[in-house]
């Protein structure tokens, strides 16, 4: 199964966002498609729309050039491929936020490919309960 395309759709108010005046900060909705019709979805907050498109939209984007045509394999291998491609580009800030969004979309695709929920691929449900001073204390009413 090969990755065939990736798109970014910007949702939110255009122009300058002033928290005092309201408005919605742009949200980049990331979609990654395969040749077998599967689609992985993710989102990225607080990344300027122009940056999101330049890094993640289509085959001419930074990540698109590395990702489109790749075989869908384990997400950690794909993450490493993309992270290594950032060696001389930028391994912080918005680029890393975009990498996180692509990583989540790849995990979503991988889960769909294996017909397993992502939480199971990440180790399943696990809860650890810890004793805290509050859980050992007595209720005192005055």
3-state secondary structure 80-117: HHHHHHCCCCCCCCHHHHHHHHHHHHHHHHHHHHHCCC
Which CATH number describes the domain made up of 3-124?
3.30.390.10
> Within the chain, where are the H helices?
49-56, 62-67, 75-85, 94-114, 118-121, 133-136
The pTM score is 0.80
Q: What is the pLDDT along the chain (142 residues), one digit of tens a residue?
A: 999 999 999 987 666 666 666 667 788 999 999 999 999 999 998 888 888 999 999 999 999 999 999 999 999 999 999 999 888 766 677 888 999 999 999 999 999 999 999 999 998 887 777 777 777 766 666 6
* Domain ranges across the chain: 3-124
């Amino acid at each position: 199964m090969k990755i065939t395309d990736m798109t970014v759709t910007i949702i939110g108010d255009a122009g300058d966002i002033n928290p005092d005046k309201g408005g919605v900060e742009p949200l980049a909705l990331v979609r990654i498609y395969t040749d077998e019709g599967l689609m992985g979805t993710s989102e990225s907050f607080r990344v300027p729309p122009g940056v999101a498109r330049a890094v993640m939209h289509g085959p001419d984007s930074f990540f698109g050039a590395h990702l489109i045509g790749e075989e869908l394999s384990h997400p950690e291998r794909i993450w490493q491929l993309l992270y290594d491609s950032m060696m001389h580009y930028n391994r912080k800030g918005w680029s890393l936020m975009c990498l996180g969004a692509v990583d989540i979309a790849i995990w979503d695709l991988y889960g769909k490919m294996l017909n397993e929920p992502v939480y199971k691929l990440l180790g399943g449900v696990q809860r650890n309960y810890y004793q805290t001073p509050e859980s050992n204390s007595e209720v005192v009413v005055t």
